[in-house]
Structure 1
Amino acid sequence: MVPLKRRKLLSTQTGNNGNSGTDVIGVKAPVKFPDVVIFLLERKMGASRRAFLSQLAAKNGFHVQETFSGMVTHVVSEGNSGAEVGSWLDSQTDGSAHRPVHLLDMSWFTQSMKAGRPIDITDTHRLQQVDESEVEVFSVPSFACQRRTTLENHNTVLTDALSLLAEMAELSAEEGRGVAFRRACAVLKCLNEPVTAMSQLRGLPCLGEHSLRVIQDILENGASSEAESTKCSERFKALKLLTGVFGVGCKTADRWIREGILSLQQLTDSAHSLNRAQQAGVDHYDDLNQPVTKAEADSISVIVEKALVTVLPGATMTLIGGFRRGKQTGHDVDFLITHPEEGAEVGLMPRVVSWLQSKGFLLYQKTTRNSYLEAKDGPARPASNMDRFERCFSIFKLDKQGPGLQSHTQRATDGEGSHFGDAVDSVCEPENGQIKQWRAVRVDLVVSPISQFPFALLGWTGSKLFERELRRWAGHEKSMSLSSHALYDSTQRTYLRATSEEEIFTHLGLEFIPPSERNA
């Protein structure tokens, strides 16, 4: 690129007003091909590469213009579609008619440089022009709970950037901004084709001005400058690191950052007294910030199931969260426990926790009691995504070796206590000072009465945004209040009972969406 100061000087000397073409300066070679005027599109190419190619062409006698004007005959781009370049060209002329120009791929330019002259243009050199009327315009329902969203995402570049901005907003306690970005993400995730032009997004819900600016930046430049800047910011890095400590929320992390604490070492060296959860989070930081695999989740399932069989025969459990939606990794493992006899689950959690502790599986645990009373906490309670089930937040100690995972499954299902005890010993054997044979894994255990089980199953399956949208749909469209405990009809002033997730969707007037398609 020509420095801005020199460009302004040249513009003054030649009478250019900024809208007409400016030749590449600093190159003395005469123009050999005056009928060919080239403009190199910087979008996706980058300023440094464009400057290098411009000087290369000028040295070879080609007429290259620094800015676009009506003199240009050949527009050369790299990594752009014909529709994208055509849209850019229209923006330069305010959509008015302009002199026909050749829209060319970089292959024409490089072959011309190699030949030392402008080569003949063939179809392989031309950017394919797509009539805007032929571009697929997407259409999706307004609520995420009306849409089917699988794990196959055709717009990961767009959603990754928006998710990062959502995360930064959430870490900064800006919930409204975070939800706006998450909703925009959810719309893009459900599309069955990649977005290639802004025109495809016309009329789509939940795409605010900010999200659209981010999308346009990516489509035009290959990346979001705002997302990249956020990712590199010291504040974002510190917030990510500190909230990665089990038991630390964004408010605590923000307070520590304001005190100058930006790393785990600084936290350890500080005078702060950590609570039990936070100390466990620091002690097992690396493990807890490593993704949990489906194989590890299945291994833990065997352990929890054995605990249930031992303390309350007939009790059942379901692996919930992202793993139920088909994900192969997650940040923790969640189980929903119940018993077919209403009331039999009362007092179950302390017995399960006691059994797990006696076998050496728990590095940390905190249990909360069931505090939900339908008459008091149902319709009168403000809508919230927090439930009041009996729950245990824990950190498991799990053998991380492949054979160890296998031995858990085999021994725990063997049915003989001594064999299962061997599996426990495998997990808890002392470290040899060189290789740690186990890893820490976050595990949440939730106990629900059978009458509330379908609502709990729906609420704990996720995704988080899908559940938020279900509650929003219930309130805005049906005058109902939905939680992980119950569904209340405000018009009829009655609870709507259900024995399955399908029945809940029917009550809400929605088509049933299976867990694998709730990945909003």
Structure 2
Amino acid sequence: MVPLKRRKVANSGTLNAGTHNSAATQPNKFPQVILFLLERKMGASRRAFLSQLGRRKGFQVEELFSKNVTHVICESNTAQEARMWLEAQGAGQAGRHLLDVSWYTESMRDGHPVEILDRHKLQEFAVNDSEVTPFSVPGYACQRRCTLENHNAVLTDALSLLAENAELSDEDGRGVAFRRAAAVLKALPSAVTNMSQLTGLPCLGGHSLRVIKDILENGTSSEVESTKESERFKALKVLTGIFGVGSKTADRWIREGIHNLQQLRDSGQTLNRAQQAGLEHYDDIKQPVSLAEAEAIRGIVGRAVASVSPEAQIVLTGGFRRGKLTGHDVDFLITHPEEGSEVGLMPKLVSWLESRGLLLYQKTTRNSYLECSEGPGRPPSNIDRFERCLSIFKLSAGQTGSGVQSDETTASPSTTERRWRAVRV
């Protein structure tokens, strides 16, 4: 049996320089006209169809852009967009016609290059600078007034993803730069529609501006899309999503061939208490926490605080205090009107909660401002020196009016069966 011979598929890339040599097409009838069809906004399949049509009519249609191209054919592009594309290829417009696809189709119909009229030329859309009002934002973040409504979510989500990727790769400097740029965009009173609106804004570096420009012009950023599809980024996201796992530990596991939770479970890795709890309650912890759930936990912890120290006060902080309806964890600040009386409060509070089976995991850190017999206390982290507790809280369904999950459609089967969920507190 004779094996089937695969038909060669022509490379449709448009970002490299070169020429296309097709022996199956008609001889070039018009050597003075060398055409290139810009795929941007035209689409790959339509471009391929029109290219084949032109070659059958005897036109020289280049598959890849080269310096020999005399006519650039575009669809739904402005002259500015076409020139920007040419500049990205290291070429200019000099000696080239930037034409609408209508000229191409008319030439195909008549069987020869038709006269170039004004209606065939790409339109120039001059931006009236007087109509574009640049935004004004204070240089210091503490001076900015930000609302919960983000008018530039597409831009800030893209920058936040790049920031997260940088942080997971231990590139803290790049991560901070992207975070600052995203924070500035969140403070803007309306959506960004033109790059000139960003003139003079603080914290917008060259890299961030390139990403913003790419999204405004193309709808997406190639860098952001490639980052999303990166297998390493996906693995880092999954592994660092485990409570108690940082980027360095996740990176080490990836080098050892661990890319998902099941591989971690099967690997026999030695996990500390926090990581064991994080892996066990992974699905719960990844689910958003609703305001109703946060308030329910506040009520429980509030009763515990009143029991061990009646004069102490508890405040729900973090995103919920700023008015958000969902969050990733629940933060509380516990204070006492008499300085010094807060010392030792946290162990008593934790003991009260543990005795009632409300903590699945907890780690309490003492007040390192105090001096002990071994010498001055040292801060164990960069948060602060006060007593604190990082925990995984067990919240029963009956303790919140909205049910266990903030979104039942995303709840895991095990969570809905056991009627309680784990929450980071």
Does the aligned pair in 2 maintain the 1:38–1:75 contact within 8 Å? no
Mapped to 1, the partners of 2:414 and 2:254 lie a distance apart of 37
> For residues 152 and 78 of structure 2, what CA distance do their matches in structure 1 show?
16
Residue 256 in structure 1 maps to residue 253 in structure 2: yes
TM-aligned CA distance change 1:259 to 1:39, over 3 Å: closer
Mapped contact 2:193–2:216 kept (Cα < 8 A): yes
| Cα distance in 2, alignment partners of residues 433 and 102 from structure 1 | 60
**Aligned residue identity for 2:421:** R
Q: Is the 8 A contact 1:38 1:73 kept in 2?
A: yes
Does residue 339 of structure 1 match 2:356? Answer: no
The change in CA–CA distance for 1:53 and 1:310 in structure 2 (over 3 A counts) is farther
How many Å apart are 1:9 and its aligned residue? 4.8
Report the equivalent of 1:427.
Answer: none
State the AA in 2 paired with 1:365.
Q
Q: Over aligned residues, Cα RMSD in angstroms?
A: 4.5
In structure 2, the residue matched to 1:300 is 297
Matching of residues 275-424 of structure 1 within 5 Å: 275-372=272-369, 386-400=383-397, 404-406=399-401
Amino acid in the other structure paired with 2:422:
A
Structure 1 residue 60 displacement after superposition:
10
Match of 2:125 among 122, 129, 133: 129
Deviations 1:337-360, CA, capped at 9 Å, x for gaps: 112232332222122212211222
**Is structure 2 residue 415 aligned with structure 1 residue 439?**
no
Cα distance change on mapping 1:10 and 1:353 into 2, 3 Å: closer
Q: Deviations over 1:304-362 (max 9, x none)?
A: 11112222223211111111222222111000011223233222212221221122211
| Letter of the structure 1 residue corresponding to residue 400 of structure 2 | L
Deviation per residue, 1:434-453 (Å, 9 max, x gap): 8121110010xxxxxxxxxx
The 3 A distance-change label for structure 1 pair 235 and 93 is closer
Deviation at 1:138, TM superposition (A): 3.1
Give the distance between the partners of 1:318 and 1:146, measured in 2 at CA: 24
1:217 corresponding residue in structure 2? 214
Q: Distance in 2 between matches of 1:52 and 1:181?
A: 41
**1:6-85, aligned counterparts within 5 Å?**
8-9=18-19, 41-52=38-49, 75-77=74-76, 84=81
Distance in 2 between the 1:388 and 1:361 partners? 26
In the alignment, is the contact (CA less than 8 A) between 1:398 and 1:438 conserved in 2? yes
Letter paired with 1:319: L
CA contact (8 A) 1:218 1:224 kept: yes
Bigger mean CA deviation after superposition, 170-179 or 49-58: 49-58
- Output the CA distance in 2 between the equivalents of 1:82 and 1:151: 38
| In 2: Cα distance, 1:432 partner to 1:235 partner | 29
Q: Answer yes or no: is the 8 Å Cα contact 2:360–2:391 preserved in 1.
A: yes
Correspondence for 2:408: none
Q: Aligned letter for 2:259?
A: L
**Identity over aligned pairs, percent:** 62
The separation in 2 between residues aligned to 1:293 and 1:389, in whole angstroms, is 27
In structure 1, the residue matched to 2:7 is none
Shift of 1:247: 1.1
Q: Which has the bigger relative contact order, CA under 8 A and spacing at least 6?
A: 1
Contact 1:44 1:220 in 2 (8 A): no
Q: TM-score, normalized by length of structure 1?
A: 0.61
Aligned-pair distance for 1:266?
2.3
Q: Residues of 1 paired with 2:292 and 2:17: CA distance? A: 61
2:3 corresponding residue in structure 1:
none
C-alpha separation between the residues in 2 aligned to 1:342 and 1:216?
A: 52
For residue 387 of structure 1, report the CA deviation from its aligned partner: 0.7
Q: Following TM superposition, by how much is the alpha carbon of 1:42 offset from its aligned partner in structure 2, in angstroms?
A: 2.9
Distance change in 2, residues 1:103/1:219 (3 Å): farther
Distance 1:129 1:309, change over 3 A: same
Structure 2 partner of 1:247: 244
Which of residues 171, 176, 179 in structure 1 aligns to 2:173? 176
> Structure 1 counterpart of 2:172, which letter?
E
Output the CA distance in 2 between the equivalents of 1:311 and 1:349.
9
* Post-superposition CA distance 1:272-304 (Å, at most 9, x none): 221111111111111111111112111111111
Compared with structure 1, are the counterparts of its residues 40 and 197 closer, same or farther at alpha carbon in structure 2 (3 Å cutoff)? farther
Cα contact 2:285–2:423 (8 A) shared by 1: yes
TM-score, structure 2 length as denominator?
Answer: 0.73
Q: Is the 8 A contact 1:65 1:72 kept in 2?
A: no
8 Å contact kept, 2:36–2:69: no
1:70–1:98 CA contact under 8 A, matched in 2: no
Residues 193 and 41 of structure 1: CA distance in aligned 2, closer, same or farther (over 3 Å): farther
Match of 2:184 among 179, 182, 187: 187
CA distance in 2, matches of 1:162, 1:25: 47
In the TM superposition, residue 72 of structure 1 has moved relative to its aligned partner by 5.6
Structure 1 residues 272, 71: closer, same or farther in 2, change over 3 A?
closer
User: C-alpha distance in 2, partners of 1:10/1:39?
Assistant: 10
Unpaired segments ≥5 residues, structure 2: 1-9, 372-377, 404-412
Task: Report the alpha carbon displacement of residue 189 of structure 1 after superposing the two structures with TM.
Answer: 2.0
Which string of whole-angstrom CA distances, capped at 9 and with x for unpartnered residues, describes residues 438-491 of structure 1? 110010xxxxxxxxxxxxxxxxxxxxxxxxxxxxxxxxxxxxxxxxxxxxxxxx
Q: In terms of mean alpha carbon deviation, does 218-227 or 248-257 score higher?
A: 218-227
Alignment correspondent of 2:198: 201
- The structural deviation recorded for 1:390 is 0.6
Cα pair distance change 1:250/1:9, threshold 3 Å: closer
Q: 1:240-287: per-residue Cα shift (whole Å, max 9, x none)? A: 111111111111112222222222222222332211111111111111
Matched residues, number: 388
Shift, 1:198, TM fit: 3.3
Q: Does 1:266 align with 2:263?
A: yes
Gap change, CA 1:190 and 1:43, over 3 Å in 2: farther
1:226 to 2:223 alignment: yes
* Other structure's SS at 2:383 match: coil
Provide the rounded CA distance (Å) in 2 between the counterparts of 1:147 and 1:30.
63
**CA gap 1:100/1:72 in 2 versus in 1, 3 angstroms:** closer
SS in 1 for 2:401: helix
